[in-house]
Amino acid sequence: MTLKPPRETFVRTDAELTQLWEHMMGSGGFARHSIWHIFFDADGQMCPVIIPIDDIPLEPDPNVLDNLADIVGEITRASAIASVAVLFSRPGEQAMTAADRRWARAIHAAFASTIRLWPVHLATTDRIQIFAPDDLIAA
């Protein structure tokens, strides 16, 4: 997948979303903990809105998640957005950690009743990976 302008970018499968995140995030890793949001209309066309939230806490914070859900809710009510994709990025090792899984579960819980949520992704040093359903089961 070649990175195209949002109005020329369509995502209809989880694999296409993973490719889009890989192209958007590039290589080299991250220096901060962030949550990225991209939005799609009902046909899978990417909307020209990308929301990165930097310097999030190491552990999920209910206030942060409530505020994010409110922002996403406002954006979706004011436009033709049908779904949101969320990527959690952090510095460090590629292996998914327990804290990463807690963030993914918290993101799912915060957005589940607001809008259709694509599978959450994790970006670490030189790797983008999807949180599989097993990763979202609390230990």
* Residue 31 belongs to a domain: yes
Q: What is the pLDDT along the chain (139 residues), one digit of tens a residue?
A: 556 777 788 999 999 999 999 988 877 778 899 999 999 999 999 998 889 999 999 999 999 899 988 888 888 888 889 999 999 999 988 889 999 999 999 999 998 777 889 999 999 987 899 998 888 886 5
Token pair recorded at residue 95: 């292996």
* Residue 103 belongs to a domain: yes
d(CA 72, CA 118): 14
List the domain range (segments joined by +) for residue 22: 6-131
* Residue 1 belongs to a domain: no
CATH code: domain of residue 120? 3.40.140.10
pTM: 0.90
Give me the phi and psi of 84, to 5 degrees please. Answer: -130, 145
Q: What is the pLDDT of residues 80-98, one digit of tens each?
A: 899 999 999 999 888 899 9
For the chain, the first-to-last Cα distance in angstroms comes to 36
